[in-house]
């Protein structure tokens, strides 16, 4: 088994890291204060092929693997996990559109989605259905020309900001088999948004409720088959779990890099604090956890790329482990900075806040445990 990255993969990581250092890191704190990511940033990602990482080349995408994608999101999160995570959401939507959109929608929209002139958000969660996603109540009733949607989606990154929304809505009976995936374009009649959510982290991402009140969409905006939406959603979440894990590890690596530099300069009791064995042990523990989580994540990505039957279980395990490791490492790095770590100027407190939500979204870590346990019991 070869654990080394290929030359191409190393180049992908370096490209994303350099882009983040130049185009994101210098502005991340201001974007957080402004509570918005400038829209002119996204086409720059598109120029690098990062607006459609997994979209096949025949649809205009980069045609990269899930493992390649984890490298991109880890590298970008070293600059800002909030921006990187938003890009991950768009990529999940782009991949879903490439696999399931009608030819009419593809010809009309796909080029702009790939270039990120059109930014797409994902709408699954509702005020009354988070972990129990199959209990969603947003309805999509058939009309002569398409579908009429009514319902509310909650905690939507890009709500009122993005150009289109993939909405999971109920077209049939209760349960997963009654859910379909629909594309709702910004400006559609009956589409509106709640107020800006005041969040702990990811503050540069505008987050709002997405409200659908007799919102009509044409038939061609149905993605794939009617009643298959929940299947598409779960497939998308496997990749999303890998990406959010990578975002946690990238942020944690940035925290480690900053901490190593700080400890080599900060003096106490007559010597730099990196000379104290107790603090060296904390650094060592952080490094061990990071390396183990990174290896675990890449194994899960490899399983998803190769179609392994236990890929979903490994994506869940990697997500649970890597997001918790990322938060522990960042918190440890803040502690090693002492009082300075608590100040916004040093960037550690932002990483602590940004990473906390990673244990909640893409399926809570409690749901990840449930997935793993069910697989264990099924396979005994």
Structural domains in the chain, sorted by start: 7-115 (1.10.540.10), 120-227 (2.40.110.10), 230-379 (1.20.140.10)
Helix (H) or strand (E) segment spanning residue 167: strand 164-170
Q: Which three-class secondary structure state does DSSP give residue 283?
A: helix
**319 neighbors 362 (Cβ within 8 angstroms):** yes
**Cα–Cα distance between 243 and 249 in angstroms, integer?**
10
Handedness of CA 12, 17, 18, 20 (dihedral sign): positive
**Cα–Cα distance between 164 and 151 in angstroms, integer?**
17
Instruction: Tell me which DSSP letter residue 185 carries.
Output: E
User: Tokens 């503050």 correspond to what residue?
Assistant: 203
Query: What is the model's pLDDT at position 131?
Result: 81
Query: What is the model's pLDDT at position 366?
Result: 97
Query: What is the model's pLDDT at position 1?
Result: 65
**Cα–Cα distance between 255 and 18 in angstroms, integer?**
17
**121 neighbors 157 (Cβ within 8 angstroms):** yes
Q: Where are the alpha helices (DSSP H) in the chain?
A: 7-23, 28-34, 42-47, 66-77, 81-100, 103-105, 111-115, 229-263, 277-305, 311-336, 348-356, 365-379
**168 neighbors 222 (Cβ within 8 angstroms):** no
**87 neighbors 62 (Cβ within 8 angstroms):** no
Task: Give this prediction's pTM.
Answer: 0.96
**Cα–Cα distance between 325 and 256 in angstroms, integer?**
12
**Cα–Cα distance between 58 and 70 in angstroms, integer?**
22
Q: Which three-class secondary structure state does DSSP give residue 163?
A: coil
Q: Which three-class secondary structure state does DSSP give residue 149?
A: strand
**178 neighbors 172 (Cβ within 8 angstroms):** yes
The low-confidence residues of the chain, meaning pLDDT below 70, are 1
Residues annotated catalytic, as ranges: 362
Chain-centroid distance of CA 364 in Å reads 13
């Amino acid at each position: 088994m070869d654990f080394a990255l290929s030359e191409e993969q190393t180049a992908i990581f370096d490209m994303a890291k350099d882009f983040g250092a130049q185009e994101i890191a210098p502005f991340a704190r201001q974007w957080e204060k402004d509570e918005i990511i400038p829209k002119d940033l996204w086409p720059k990602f598109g120029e690098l092929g990062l607006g459609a990482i997994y979209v096949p080349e025949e649809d205009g995408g980069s045609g990269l693997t899930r493992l390649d994608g984890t490298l991109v999101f880890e590298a970008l999160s070293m600059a800002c996990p909030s921006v990187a995570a938003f890009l991950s959401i768009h990529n999940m939507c782009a991949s879903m559109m490439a696999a399931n959109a009608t030819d009419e929608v593809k010809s009309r929209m796909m080029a702009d989605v790939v270039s990120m002139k059109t930014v797409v958000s994902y709408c699954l969660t509702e005020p009354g259905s988070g972990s129990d996603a199959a209990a969603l109540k947003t309805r999509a009733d058939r009309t002569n020309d398409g579908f009429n949607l009514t319902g509310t989606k909650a905690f939507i990154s890009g709500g009122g900001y993005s150009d289109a929304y993939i909405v999971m809505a109920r077209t049939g009976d209760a349960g997963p088999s009654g859910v379909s995936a629909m594309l709702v374009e910004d400006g559609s009649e009956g589409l509106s948004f709640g107020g800006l959510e005041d969040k702990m982290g990811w503050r540069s991402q505008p987050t709002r409720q997405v409200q659908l009140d007799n919102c009509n969409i044409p038939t061609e905006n149905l993605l794939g088959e009617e009643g298959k939406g929940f299947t598409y959603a779960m497939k998308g979440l496997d990749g999303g779990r890998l990406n959010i894990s990578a975002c946690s590890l990238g942020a944690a690596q940035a925290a480690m890099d900053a901490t190593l530099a700080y400890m080599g300069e900060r003096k106490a009791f007559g010597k730099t604090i990196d000379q104290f064995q107790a603090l060296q042990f904390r650094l060592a523990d952080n490094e061990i956890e990071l390396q183990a989580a990174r290896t675990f994540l890449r194994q899960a990505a490899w399983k998803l790329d190769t179609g392994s039957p236990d890929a979903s279980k490994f994506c869940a395990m990697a997500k649970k482990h890597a997001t918790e490791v990322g938060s522990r490492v960042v918190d440890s790095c803040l502690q090693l900075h002492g009082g300075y770590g608590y100040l916004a100027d040093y960037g550690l407190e932002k990483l602590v806040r940004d990473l906390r939500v990673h244990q909640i979204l893409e399926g809570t870590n409690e749901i990840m445990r449930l997935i793993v346990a069910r697989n264990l019991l099924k396979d005994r």
